[in-house]
Structure 1
Amino acid sequence: MLRDMPNSPGPRARSSAAATKQALLDSARDEFAEHGIAGARVDRIAKRAGVNKERIYGYFGNKEKLFDAVMKAAMDELVEVTAMPGDNPVDYVGKLFDYYVRNPVLLRLLLWESLYHRTNTLPEQQWRVDRCRQKVVSLADRLGEEPSDEIGRTVLTLKGLALMPMVMPQIAALFGASMDTPESIAQMREHVMAFARTAMENRTTAE
């Protein structure tokens, strides 16, 4: 029977470390969503998680890397619940819309990341490139085309349809498009899906 090496952590220690790391990620998600990268405080994150803040540096290195880990986890969750756009572009928009309605924290994280200036490429850049490429290839296959920048713009627009109503609620209200009731949310969902349906139909017809 295999046994742990004398200097390696045992199952209980590994389980405790995993639980601590997850607690920090959960706490950090709330903190970053509320305050952004610059405004977030590692001492508040640690306090929410019930651990010493030195654990943050031990597990993640620094605050930026902790934010990157939070984003990776949040985007992994999104990928798990949404199909590829090529399966059905209209349903793709609807499922994204539903997810953003249920998970406004992800939208806030994405917006904070966009506002936070970084001189280098995004962390996990290749992972993100690969995921986006998969979506482009998926829609290209659906349309019977080769992947291209134009297909990429189409995927981006589909994603924009799904998230825009939640990104600027004040502007939406000015246009009489508030989503403050279940009925208004359902109406907006149908609207963006209908918009996507018409756009995809017109695109196919034009070709």
Structure 2
Amino acid sequence: MAAARSNKAQLYAYFGNKEKLFDTIFFGSLERIVNVVPIDADDLADWAVRLYDEYLRRPDLIRLATWARLERRPAGHLVDDHDRMDDRKLRAIAEAQAAGRVREGDPFDVMAMVIAMSMAWSPVSNVYAATAEESPEVHERRRALLRECVRRAVVAE
């Protein structure tokens, strides 16, 4: 708070309480969290790798979304329908499915699966949280594995 030249009393006077402060930060970051990596439904494997790279670049964003999941929305969608910004992604996946390039299934479930796979080494992984400081060779090995696993999971055959 010193860097912000503020104190707890000033923050609460402005935002009301800790929950409203969190909501302001979360919803202010939501577009970046949801849309930071544009989807390519014809190459969902590459999209997963670009998500992995974004988690390395901005671990704070995935932590913020995870905190919202843990504290605010333990079930269902992370945000209300009118706040979700994934309609373009779902349409792109549905179009790729209709063209026979992506396996059949609910487009939302396909998207959720790709995102979940991309988070295997994210800052909120239950197994291992990668950092940008790890060697480039380690990241390339993970990218190759992620790319191949997503490709096998979602490409229509």
1:161 to 105, 114, 117: 117
Matched residues in 1 for 2:105 and 2:16: separation? 36
TM-score, reference length from structure 1: 0.59
Which structure has the larger Rg?
1
Residue ranges of structure 1 left out of the alignment (5+ in a row)? 1-45
Paired with 1:136 and 1:57, the residues of 2 have a C-alpha distance of: 38
* Helix, strand or coil at the partner of 1:88: helix
- Is the CA contact 2:90–2:111 (under 8 Å) kept in the aligned structure 1? yes
Q: How far off is 1:98 after superposition? A: 0.7
Match of 2:106 in 1: 150
Query: Which structure has the highest helix share of the two?
Result: 1
Q: How does 1:61-80 map to 2 (within 5 A)?
A: 61-80=16-35
Deviation at 1:153, TM superposition (A): 0.8
CA gap of 1:183–1:92, structure 2 versus 1, over 3 A, is: same
2:88 paired residue number = 134
The CA deviation at 1:56 is 2.5
CA shift for structure 1 position 122: 7.9
> Aligned ranges for residues 174-189 of structure 1 at < 5 Å?
180-189=134-143
Residues 95-151 of structure 1 show CA distances to partners (whole Å, capped at 9, x for unaligned) of: 1111001111122222222222569x989623433x133322221112217xx9722
Runs of 4+ in 1 over 6 A off after TM superposition: none
* Aligned partner (choices 106, 109, 112) of residue 61 of structure 2: 106
In structure 2, the residue matched to 1:83 is 38
TM-score (norm 2): 0.75
Q: In 1, distance between residues paired with 2:42 and 2:105?
A: 19
Q: Which amino acid aligns with 1:165?
A: W
Percent identical among aligned pairs is: 26
SS of residue matched to 1:186? helix
For the aligned residue pairs, the C-alpha RMSD in angstroms reads 3.2
**Cα distance between partner residues in 1 of 2:79 and 2:69:** 15
Alignment of 1:25-44 (within 5 A): none
Higher relative contact order structure (alpha carbons within 8 Å, sequence separation ≥ 6): 2
